[in-house]
Amino acid sequence: MKFIKKVTKLTLFLPLVCLVLVLLLNLIKDPGFFKIAVNNGVLYGRLIDILNRGSEIAILAIGQTLVVAASAGTDISVGSVMSISACFCCMLLAGFGVSSTETLRMPMIVGIIAGILLGGICGVFNGTLVAKLKIQPMIATLILFTAARAIGLLFCNNQITYIRYNPYKYLGNFIPGCPIPTSIFVTVFVIAVVAVLLKKTALGLYIQSVGINNRAARLLGINSDRICFLCYVICGLCAGIAGIVSSSRIYSADSNNIGLYYELDAILAVALGGNSLGGGKFNLYGSIVGAYTIQAINTTLLAMGVSTDQAPVVKAIIVVAIVTVQSPVFRSWISRPNRQKPVEKEAVRV
Amino acid sequence: MEDQILLTMRNITKTFPGVKALDKAGITLRKGEIHALMGENGAGKSTLIKVLTGVHPFDSGEIRIDGIEGPVVNHSPLDAQKKGIATVYQEVNLCPNLSVAENLFIGREPKTGLGFIDWRTMNKKAAKIMEDLDIDVDVALPLSNYSLAIQQMIAIARAVDMDCKILILDEPTSSLDDNEVSKLFKLMLHLKEEGVGIIFITHFLEQVYMVCDRITVLRNGQFIGEYSVSEMPRIKLVAAMLGKDFDDLASIKPEFGTTACEEIVVEAQGLSHKGTIKPFDFMIRKGEVVGVTGLLGSGRSEMVRCIYGADRAQTGTLKFKGKLLKAKAPIDSIKAGMGFLPDDRKAEGLIGDLSVRENIILAIQARQGINKTLSLAKQNELADQYIEMLNIKTASRETPVSQLSGGNQQKVILARWLCTHPDFLILDEPTRGIDIGTKTQFQKLMLKFAAEGMSVVFISSELEEMLRTCSRMCVMRDGEKVGEIEGEMTQESVMSAIAGGESK
């Protein structure tokens, strides 16, 4: 009993339960859902698919979590930033105006790093508007939300730029000889870097302090603006990485479609992970679980043969159910008989 | 009818969860008088007004208004307005993008036969009102063209035109300059002649003596007394507000000798922050406890904020331990060796959702820099050490600090600064809202730190506390440091210094 109480109190408990429930849903319909097979030397199966396809959302969710925690606002430009990063990378590799190439203009790694850095620069722009100029996060990031995709289109001279160079496909697909999709490694790498950053420096503590009480954080010696700024830069870098992965999957820069509506999934992942969109305390791993939950829903719908036109409806219903289960009102309603109401906080004198 | 009573509030009691905000408070307002409602923060002035205007319901007591049979209970501000009670707040509640005339008639515009707004009549009427009140404005221009003072007068004019008999002005002068204040006073005197009863809430003593006829003092939610301004010397008023009848109080001898040595820790010259504090000089020696006293809004907090760098000083220089210190942000002051416990615990001190441990180690972590994390073991050690030393009552060091009681929260913030071992610690109202036992503990601690060589600046609304601990006091009035008192300090000498002017 004590063990159960302890487990249910963990912040990760509910997000994980939701993920498992979504996965179990599939068992009823298709017992073969969890089957993992090896075909042509690579792993196949729904689970692998979820892990693979969920990479972009998971990477975006990491950056988004930090932004939400520090600024109590969301970065809605991440989808567009994915697109601009991909286009910039492809433009550098193929050359401006080239619609399809088999040889690269410069080493692949240079193009990729440049694309990711451009994402970081977008983060600098967002961060400056929010942290220095105190513009509301949603308005500030709305600028790049609309503009970045269009600039990406300019980079690609209004067409889709194909990079028909095999190694460019590795990031979004498989490295020959390795049975695991490469994007999973990328995601693990990003998670590890951010986790180490949070563990080895006081960044996590600072972000939470700034998010909970900006003024108090400043008075006790934290540079609130700089922390907030930094979160937007990290978020931009994450969007850049996600953009490159996305582009590698289709070995091209399709400005109109890369990262389309991904900002919504990223925000949803943060919420599904049990994080408050009001900022403050955050749980990075919750967001990542949230991201894979979203992908699990997507894959499930696909597996069940729901048409892509109708999928959003079903997805919406599932999301509503998950959010309801996690809401504090619902939770206190569930546990009302055996728990007393928390003691009223000290009233403030008026 | 010289003394016709417009409004009587008697024995009003109002309890918020856990706090008795009003305990038999009351006020009596007569026709054609300006009546000051005074008291320190938390005395219940605002609550009393909110009860009168129907914002809050009250528990018991009686409100009577001239011309209405029986006791009156207002259920909403609109209800109160219908009974002739109008309130004008510090922030003007009008629409800056509408014209003056529109603002005056919003919601009750004169209509033409077809049901459209009759602009001509409206502007004409508005111009007449402004002329009657001697306010020089073009009623067709947007409100935002005019200064805050004029906007406030227009808000008052609107209230008056709606047949208000009782006008409540809640700190209308706090954001006005001297010139604007005198314009506002002219309008108030004009209304007074027309028989309007005005309740005037302000923190500025000078202004009370300039326009008011009578004063009602509240303290801790209780009615303390009603006085005629001409018969109430300032010092007595301050005594009534602070709750000290100085005639009865024997002077308190300091219980300790001064341990201060000659080494100067902080020396400020001509520091100022525009709009909050005029240029001031300040000096403190090693091991000294210096008080900053004055009424609320006199600039006590603003002065220490300026020294700490919470509000960046715009003029003047600050020397810390002989070296010039230019603090761009609080972190610079912390690195030099300062600590600052702000007066608004919730808004500026606590990081509510974080644990007691995290709240304690935050400042020392910030001073060390983001790259040098304190190990969890070290954090636990520090937290446990200060929880024990300050006797912080908490379930564990991982309890969110927002679940602690006020006094214990304050101790957590104190612990936060103590673990940085500051040379200079500023305590702004550390004892507000906490119980007597903890208060005494705070005072003892302060003296202990001073004996160990820390310099402490202490601000408190309770004079007694400061007399007991401080060897010297800076006196603040209306955003300015007006002097210092040293040596033999008594309640009386400090109070007369706070009140200022010639003792009437």
Q: Which of A146-160, A230-244, A305-319, B470-484 has the largest mean confidence?
A: A230-244
Binary contact (B310, A217; C-beta < 8 A): no
- Tokens 């992942």 correspond to what residue? A269
* Residues of B whose CB is below 8 A from A217: 351, 362
Cross-chain residue pair B362–A218, CB shorter than 8 Å: no
Between residues B208 and A7, which one has the greater pLDDT? Answer: B208
Buried b / exposed e over B367-399, threshold 16 CB at 10 Å, is bbebeebbeeeebeebbeebbeebebebeebee
pLDDT of residue B406: 77
Long-range contact set of residues B64-69: C-beta below 8 Å, sequence gap at least 24: B64/B7, B64/B8, B64/B10, B65/B6, B65/B7, B65/B166, B66/B4, B66/B5, B66/B6, B66/B7, B66/B31, B66/B165
A contacts of B331 (beta carbons < 8 Å): 221-223
- B482 at interface of A, judged by CB pairs closer than 8 A: no
Is position A222 within any domain? yes
Whether A1 maps to a domain, the answer reads no
pTM for the predicted model, two decimal places: 0.73
pLDDT, mean of residues A313-337: 78
Largest CA distance in chain A: 73
Inter-chain contacts counted by CB atoms under 8 A, chains A and B: 96
A226: its two tokens: 């700089």
Consecutive 10-residue averages of pLDDT for chain B (504 residues): 79 80 89 88 81 88 86 84 84 83 85 85 89 84 84 84 86 74 86 90 83 90 89 83 55 44 87 88 91 84 92 91 90 93 88 93 92 91 92 88 84 93 92 72 86 91 83 88 84 81 43
Contacts of A201 in chain B (CB under 8 A): 370-371, 373
Assigned CATH topology for domain B262-337+422-433+449-498: Rossmann fold (3.40.50)
| Closest approach of A16 to chain B, Cα-based (Å) | 23
Interface of A with B in 203-232 (CB under 8 A): 203, 205-206, 208-209, 212-213, 215-223
Q: Does B46 touch chain A (CB under 8 A)?
A: yes
- Cβ–Cβ contact B402 with A under 8 A: yes
Report the pLDDT value the prediction gives residue B244, as an integer from 0 to 100: 64
CB within 8 Å of chain B, chain A residues 99-158: none
Chain A: closest CA distance from residue B166 (Å): 23
Mark yes or no for CB contact A346/B406 under 8 Å: yes
Which of A206, A219, A346 is nearest residue B405 as measured by Cβ atoms? A346
In chain B, CATH 3.40.50.300 sits at 5-242, 262-337+422-433+449-498
Q: How many CA atoms within 13 Å lie on the side-chain side of B24?
A: 3
User: How distant is the Cα of B16 from the closest Cα of chain A, in angstroms?
Assistant: 7
Structure confidence at residue B502 (pLDDT): 43
% of chain A at pLDDT higher than 70: 95
Residues in chain B: 504
* Closest residue to A212, CB basis, from B352, B365, B403: B352
Q: With contact defined as beta carbons under 8 Å apart, do B138 and B120 qualify?
A: no
- Compute the average pLDDT of residues A312-335: 80
Total count of domains within chain A: 1
In a domain, A169, yes or no: yes
Say yes or no for a CB contact (<8 Å) between B331 and A212: no
pLDDT score at B168: 92
Token digits of residue B168: 């409540």
User: Which residues are CB-neighbours of B203 under 8 A, at least 6 positions away?
Assistant: B171, B174, B295, B296, B297, B298
Is residue A183 one of the residues assigned to a domain?
A: yes
d(CA B53, CA B65): 12
Q: What is the pLDDT of residue B41?
A: 65
Which residue of A lies nearest to B51 if distances are taken between CA atoms?
A350
Instruction: Give, for A8, the enclosing helix (H) or strand (E).
Output: helix A2-9
| Cross-chain Cβ contact A205/B334 below 8 Å | no
- Choose between B175 and A238: higher pLDDT: A238
A342, closest residue in chain B (CA to CA): B403
In percent, how much of chain A has pLDDT > 90? 63
Nearest CA in chain B to A212: B351
Asked if CATH classification 3.30.565.10 holds for the domain at B5-242, the reply, yes or no, is no
- Residues of B with Cβ-Cβ distance to A347 under 8 angstroms: 16-19
Q: Chain B: nearest CA to A52, how far in angstroms?
A: 34
Alpha-carbon distance A300 to nearest alpha carbon in chain B (angstroms): 37
Residue-wise pLDDT for A184-220, tens only, equals 999 999 999 999 999 899 999 999 999 999 999 999 9
Q: Which residue has the higher pLDDT, A322 or A123?
A: A123
CB contact under 8 Å between B351 and A215, yes or no, is no
Contact A205 B358 (CB under 8 A): yes
- Flag whether A189 is in a domain: yes
CB A219 within 8 A of CB B330: yes
- The answer to whether A54 and A292 are in contact (CB under 8 A) is yes
pLDDT score of A348 more than 70? no
Question: Contacts of residue B353 in chain A, CB cutoff 8 Å?
Answer: 208, 212, 280-281
Mean pLDDT over the full length of chain A: 89
- pLDDT at residue A278 tops 50: yes
Q: Taking CB atoms and an 8 Å cutoff, what residues of chain A touch B438? A: none
**Residue A245 located in a structural domain:** yes
Name the β-bridge partners of A39: A42
State residue B501's pLDDT score: 57
- CA torsion through residues B162, B165, B168, B172, sign: positive
C-alpha dist (Å) from residue A71 to A75, A278, B144: 10, 8, 32
CB contact A345 to B (< 8 Å): yes
Per-residue pLDDT band at A337 (split at 50, 70, 90): low
Pairwise CA distance, residues A301 & B224, whole Å: 72
Nearest-neighbour CA in chain B from A20: distance (Å) = 29
Query: pLDDT band for position A319 (50/70/90)?
Result: confident
The pairing of strands B34-38 and B214-219 is: parallel
Contact criterion met (CB < 8 Å) for B46 and A350: yes
Using the Cβ of A341 and the Cβ atoms of chain B, whether some distance falls under 8 Å is answered with: no
- What is the average per-residue pLDDT within A54-73? 95
Q: Do A347 and B46 touch (CB under 8 A)?
A: no
Q: How confident is the model over A310-326, as a mean pLDDT?
A: 83
Residue from the list B46, B349, B370 with its beta carbon closest to the beta carbon of A216: B349
A222 contacts B366? CB cut-off 8 A: yes
Could you tell me which residues come within 8 angstroms of residue B382 by beta carbon, excluding any fewer than 6 positions away?
A: B360, B361, B364, B374, B419
Chain A residues in contact with B334 by the CB 8 A cut-off are 220-221
Two tokens at A244? Answer: 């490159």
**A9 in contact with B at a CB cutoff of 8 Å?**
no
Host domain of residue A116: 21-32+54-332
- Among chain A residues, the shortest Cα distance to B367 is held by A221
Lookup: tokens for A272: 């599904």
In the stretch 44-103 of chain A, residues with CB closer than 8 A to chain B read none
Give A11's contacts in chain B (Cβ within 8 Å): none
Residues in chain B closer than 8 A to A208 (CB atoms): 351, 353-354
Closest chain B CA to residue A209: B351
Q: What is the CATH number of the domain that holds A135?
A: 1.10.3470
How far are the Cα atoms of A104, A111, A289, B184, B352 from residue A84, in angstroms, in the given order?
Answer: 19, 13, 27, 58, 39
- Most A CBs within 10 Å, among B344, B351, B398, to test the A interface: B351
Using a CB–CB cutoff of 8 Å, tell me whether A196 touches chain B: no
Instruction: Find the CB nearest B373 among A202, A217, A281.
Output: A202
Strands (E), A4-54: 37-39, 42-44
Q: The complex's ipTM?
A: 0.83
Nearest CA in chain A to B16: A347
